[in-house]
Structure 1
Amino acid sequence: PSNEGRGYVLRRLIRRASRHGKLLGINEHFLTKVSKVVMEAYKSEYPELLEEQDRILKIIDAEECKFQETIEQGLNILQKMIDEAKKNNKNTISGEDSFKLYDTYGFPIDLTLEILEEQGFTTSIDDFNENMKQQKLRSKNARNIDEIGWSGNDNSIIKNLSETKFLGYDKLNTEATIENIFLNEDEEKVISSGEKGIIVLSESTFYGESGGQVGDKGIIESKNGKAIVLDTQKNKNNAILHYVEMVEGTLSVDEKVEAKVDLQNRRDTMKNHTATHLLHKALKSVIGDHVNQAGSYVDSKRLRFDITHFEAISKDDLSKIEKIVNEKISLGLPVNSKEMSYKESEELGAIGLFEDKYKDKVRVVSIGDKYSQELCGGTHVQTTSDIQMFKIISESSVAAGVRRIEAITGREVYNYINNKDLLLTEISSTLKSKQSDIINRIEFILAENKNLEKEIKNIKSNDVKKDLEKIINSAKTIDGFKVVTHNYNGLDMNTLREIADTIKNKISSGVVVLSNITDDNKVNFVAAVSKDVIDKNIFAGNVVREVAKLTGGNGGGRKDFAAAGGKDATKVPTALESVYQIVESMLK
């Protein structure tokens, strides 16, 4: 199951079955049970169902669990929308509301449509799609706005610029002519020092962000001026947009300039991009062929790779995946690219991503002797040994059935390992232990700490018990029973409860209210009331609640025992003093 193509059809079927089960009154997860019956019925025609049974059932169960988490909240909100529309004699909800259900609560639009149809309602799919489009545009524009103060994507001239010839696969520097300059979304002839804008060249070696790979950085300069390229984007026609900040002089339209891509930034980005191809192949080898790319982000610092998978990847599997990638790096496999027809790429077995619509001519990036073949327009290293090292630093969930792996390569791995080593050295020094003995040393310290805490607790408990007679003797008598109050410092709640019970048993008849101010200045209260006093309608929960209120807190509990928390430790003495008045008022 996924959010694309056939995978999405499968996800919809699972979700629809789950929802209709709920409508029939089945509240627990049931799809795996039904699936087992189906597998058994079709095992002779489809033996692979039983061969893959465990994996299939895990996927179905994970999908059902995720969907149940989503559906409860979404159904309530959708029903409120429907009820509100009915009040206004309408039979439609807005596309904006449908999008809000999807965007905020993860409620799928196909399910919204199905439920609306059942109740004779509709929604505007066009408005829903427009909201989706605007959200994607806002996300895409965000970084460009940070770079130059505006995105340029709303400018009709920029949007309609024709394709720029890209030379960056074969070289990093080139001479070109400035064709367009844009400042504050207006087309200008000159850009001057201190200004930020967009420069379009007759041809460029700068890679415009696409396919998950970020745009290049670098310099555009002439004898008259110099601009720093902060980012590179492309419009819908593949015109390359250089987002620049002028640092010297001026640059003008029709001026000859030299465009220079930042070599180190490009090299590090290429390492990470080629590493994603190796990672993709390793994931399929270790986890299974059902794994497909669901998204990626590649820059000079790290790579982020999203895959379709139904559960967390185990540490053992991550270790195997990392090992495979590093083995392929050490082999120095050649990395080649070739343009061919889409049909040829299919015959070659090249992987196409996201079920994209490809042009007749596509670019296939191959690693080794057909080890990995993917349709890709990005930039890559010449051999896998250029990547140097590969390290997975995290694995997490980003959506239902989608896992995210973050990794680093090259010098970033060295920095990562070096920082870990420095941290280990610092820990070793602090613990006064060899690095090889750190775990044993930590375990010893934790055990020793636990024993010391136990000793301290026993000492405190013994000290407290010694003072009990004194505390009991200071009690006041109201209506024939004793009322005992006292404040402690630094006790835990269990000890405080034990003391309250002990005092109650010793006095036989009465009310006990104890407070405790913790080491971090929090306030705890407990109250214990004997049975005969309960018969006088004095309940522990009521007493402790009123006392706690005087310190800005609250609480309650049973008639014979209750607890509460307070906020203002300075008001504890006054609160304890008020216990007598509170008890007396309850007698009236």
Structure 2
Amino acid sequence: GQGMAILESAIDELKEPKVPGDVVFKLYDTFGFPADLTADVARERGLDIDDAGFEKLMTAQRQRGRAASRFDSTLEQRIEIEGNVEFLGYDDLTADSEIVGLYRRSDDDAEEVEVLNTGESGVVILNRTPFYAESGGQVGDAGTIQARDVTFEVTDTTQGGGQHLHYGSVDKGQLSVGDVVNAEVLVNRRDDIARNHSATHLLHAALREVLGEHVQQKGSLVDGERLRFDFSHLDPLEDEEVATIESIVNERIRENSEVKTEQLTYDDAIARGALALFGEKYGDDVRVLSMAGDFSVELCGGTHTARTGDIGLLRVVSESGIAAGIRRIEAVTGRGALARLDIIERQLDAVAEVVRGSREELADKVKLLAESNRRLEKEVRSLRSRSARSESADLAAGVIEVEGIKVLSTRVEDDSEAVMALFDGLRERLGNCVVVLGYLDKGKVALVCGVSKELTSRLKAGDLVRHIGSQVGARGGGRDDMAKAGGGDKPEALDGALGSAAAWVAEQL
């Protein structure tokens, strides 16, 4: 994967035998590459990792996360404005409103102010707003708050103290408490979120239809890019089950039925068969969302499409397990689904061009290529084996005997796979022996050392590889009978270092 490629590249560029902490952190933070896996790979190359540097960066990240969370949560808890915001966003995406509160962001805190100036970040609180505040797995809206000479770019919306908190910064002009402004939600983004949220409801119903009524929602995330739905189910889904679920959802989308909402008492909604989320707190009156007749009926305060057809299309991207008995489906809809299909189309065309065939021939062409590749790999392995046997016979002529023990320490010009084949051939040919092979791997010195098991009470392969490695800048270790080292930055010293093996063996004896 990409993480492994970055690690390989970083190892190639090392000036010392240690993977820097910032590389370990980037692999973990950006590519989900566990630090212990990075350490394992490094160890195989005879390298260490900068644990202290990694931990320092991890601590800084945790502090940043706590600071951002503290800013949001403390502000949400501190809001004390009389009355509750009037939310208009189910029907309107733009509205005139009055600013009833302003907070300027400074470092990790926020202070209540009367004015926000150009370039300042903060929070705007309005008496009425079309902006949906993050809730129930749906992200908050983005957009603008404007007056004649001022623009506040809203990047997120949350709720607290009965208000909607519009986070962002002043792009131009000056905002003051009491100003009359126009609040406008970013329409395309809201529409994408609505498609994904409505599709989530259809997906939930389809899962229950295919897998059984034991399926319960355990979490969700709905944003403008995709939907993520976590649900209770023990086993991984079969490909056929995923295909059936996707087909059911798309059939409901094509029906283009009206998405209906109504306000009911909680008891009446449950009596109607509406699904309530376990652990969610509901008031006496609830908003009930029905899709495709009674196919999907749930309690939901989110924003949705007007008709199921507005979703356009749903494509499942992945299905995975995230905990014992909890599965996760990620999917895309509307523009996101079309973009994914477009990417797949381009990839198919690119592959078809490479194999010099049409899309219709693609599966057969790739199958033939794979078979040909396996056959060639088998031939290459056979040739390498014969070459290794031949080369081992030639190299065996360079054996030095030290007190009856055959010692062979030499440089070879091959890749690591061929070197190991040669190494095994030499040990088998020489019997009671010590074998050391040195070679260049991407410009760095690498070593492999073997000691016959009968000799390990007196000679240790790990000790020998460290002795030679110290002369060429390579680090490593291993078992008593076999050890490796790598990352050596002194290739010019390799021949001399290999030449010291016989003397080292004599000293140990």
Among all aligned residue pairs of Structure 1 and Structure 2, give the percentage whose two residues are the same amino acid: 31
Residue 539, structure 1, aligned to residue 456, structure 2: yes
Match for residue 499 of structure 1 among 404, 410, 426:
426
1:289 match: secondary structure: coil
Call closer, same or farther: CA 1:528–1:139 in 2, change over 3 Å.
closer
Residue 165 of structure 1 corresponds to 86
Tell me the equivalent position of 2:192: 268
CA distance in 1, matches of 2:324, 2:131: 36
- The structure 1 residue matched to 2:143, chosen from 202, 205, 218, is 218
Equivalent residues of 2:385, 2:421 under 8 A apart: no
- Shift of residue 256 of structure 1? 2.0
Please name the residue that 1:564 is paired with: 483
* Pair 1:383 & 2:307 matched: yes
Check conservation: 1:543, 1:583, Cα contact below 8 A.
no
CA deviation string 1:22-62 (max 9, x = no partner) = xxxxxxxxxxxxxxxxxxxxxxxxxxxxxxxxxxxxxxxxx
What SS does structure 2 have at the residue aligned with 1:154? helix
Contact 2:250 2:314 in 1 (8 A): yes
Q: 2:282 aligns with which of 335, 358, 368?
A: 358
Q: Deviations over 1:478-526 (max 9, x none)?
A: 345654444333225244212321233xxxxx53414153654563434
Work out whether residues 461 and 483 of structure 2, in 8 Å CA contact, stay in contact via their aligned partners in 1: yes
2:225 paired with 1:292: no
Quick one: structure 1 residues 411 and 469, their matched pair in 2 at CA, closer, same or farther if it must change by over 3 Å?
closer
How do residues 565-580 of structure 1 correspond to structure 2 at under 5 angstroms?
565-567=484-486, 568=488, 570=491, 572-580=494-502
Q: Aligned letter for 1:585? A: E
Deviations 1:131-190 (A, max 9, x none): xxxx9xx979848x8xxxx43733665156531111111222222222222223333222
Aligned residues: 431
Alpha-carbon deviation of 1:548? 0.9
Partner-residue secondary structure (3-state), 2:116: strand
CA offset digits 1:111-132 (Å, max 9, x no partner):
xxxxxxxxxxxxxxxxxxxxxx
1:227 aligns with 2:152: yes
Distance in structure 2 (CA, Å) of the matches to 1:463 and 1:378: 68
CA RMSD of aligned residues (A): 2.9
In structure 2, how many angstroms separate the alpha carbons of the residues matched to 1:169 and 1:503?
82
Deviates further, 377-386 or 303-312: 303-312
Are the structure 2 counterparts of residues 175 and 512 from structure 1 closer, same or farther at C-alpha, using a change threshold of 3 Å? closer
Supply the distance in 1 between the matched residues of 2:137 and 2:67 (Cα, whole angstroms): 15
Taking structure 1 as reference, are residues 308 and 246 closer, same or farther at Cα in structure 2, changes over 3 Å only? same
Q: Secondary structure at the match of 2:503?
A: helix
SS at match of 2:234: coil
For normalisation by structure 2, the TM-score amounts to 0.77
Q: Higher RCO, 1 or 2 (CA under 8 Å, sep at least 6)?
A: 2
TM-score (norm: length of structure 1): 0.67
- Is the alpha carbon distance of 1:466 and 1:170 closer, same or farther for their aligned partners in structure 2, counting shifts above 3 Å? closer
Task: Measure, in 2, the Cα distance between the counterparts of 1:202 and 1:577.
Answer: 84
> Distance between the aligned counterparts of 2:75 and 2:245, measured in 1?
43
Partner SS for 1:489: coil
Hey, what's the Cα distance between the residues in 2 that align with 1:174 and 1:336?
A: 23
Q: Deviations over 1:333-370 (max 9, x none)?
A: 11110001111112111111123232111110111321
2:433 partner amino acid: V
- Based on CA coordinates, which of the two structures has the bigger radius of gyration? 1
Any gaps of 5 or more consecutive residues in structure 2?
1-61, 470-474
Distance in 1 (alpha carbons) for counterparts of 2:504 and 2:284:
86
Partner of 1:447: 371
More strand by share: 2
**Partner residue, 1:199:** 124
Amino acid at match of 1:153: T
1:272 CA displacement = 0.9
Between the aligned partners of 2:305 and 2:328, the Cα distance in structure 1 is: 23
Q: CA separation of 1:525/1:338 partners in 2, compared to 1, >3 Å: closer, same or farther? A: same
Structure 1 residue matching 2:316: 3-state secondary structure: strand
For each residue in 1:352-389, what CA deviation from the matched residue of structure 2 results, as whole angstroms up to 9, or x when unmatched? Answer: 11232321111101113212111111111111000000
Residue 354 to residue 484, structure 1, CA distance change in 2 (3 Å): same
The structural deviation recorded for 1:529 is: 4.5
Correspondence list, 1:436-515, <5 A: 436-466=360-390, 470-479=394-403, 482-490=406-414, 491-504=418-431, 511-515=433-437
Are residue 177 (structure 1) and residue 104 (structure 2) matched? no
- CA shift in 2, pair 1:380/1:468, >3 Å: closer
Residues 498, 257 of structure 1: alpha-carbon distance in 2 compared, 3 angstrom cutoff: same
Distance 1:474 1:425, change over 3 A: same
| Cross-structure match for 1:154 | 75
Name the counterpart of 2:245.
321
Separation of aligned partners in 1, 2:316 and 2:376 = 40
Question: What amino acid does structure 1 have at the position aligned with 2:496?
Answer: T
